[in-house]
Amino acid sequence: MRTQNNTDNKNFPHKDLSYKLVGCFFNIRKNYGPGQKEIIYTNLIAEWLNKNKIIFEKEKIIKICSIDSGKMVGIYKPDFVINDKIILEIKSSRFSTQQDEKQLYFYLRNSRYEVGYLVNFSTPRLLIKRIIYTNDRKPFLRSV
């Protein structure tokens, strides 16, 4: 799994949209603090996206298909898909776990999306983890 925490990298996919989203996360945390329910943060993000005319889908169904048969074997439902480019997973817990990060990793690994953000608003410091998983590394896309 390759993760990028370094915001100095100028060559990552969807840079402008990512920059706007990160600004949104910081503003929400600054204005509402840690410890709100996850649904509060989710609703605040949706409100900000609407205000800024950024297209998004909440809990978009992402179909997972078998590499061998092409049949659907399951679904994922991330919190947001932003502009049909970025997956966003929101958390509101005192600690983030490896399982939280793995969840986003699997969303990216098994879909055509290449950029995802895990954001935990309730950790002592705002946690923003960006994961990039490029399509050239995805087995199901190579078999098509």
Q: Which domains does the chain have, with CATH numbers?
A: 14-142 (3.40.1350)
41, 24 contact by CB (below 8 A): no
Helix or strand (DSSP H, E) at 37 = none
Q: What is the pLDDT of residues 110-141, one digit of tens each?
A: 899 999 999 999 999 999 999 998 888 887 66
Please tell me the distance from the alpha carbon of residue 17 to that of residue 32, in angstroms, as a whole number: 22
2, 132 contact by CB (below 8 A): yes
Q: What is the pLDDT of residues 44-87, one digit of tens each?
A: 999 999 999 999 999 999 988 887 887 889 999 999 999 999 99
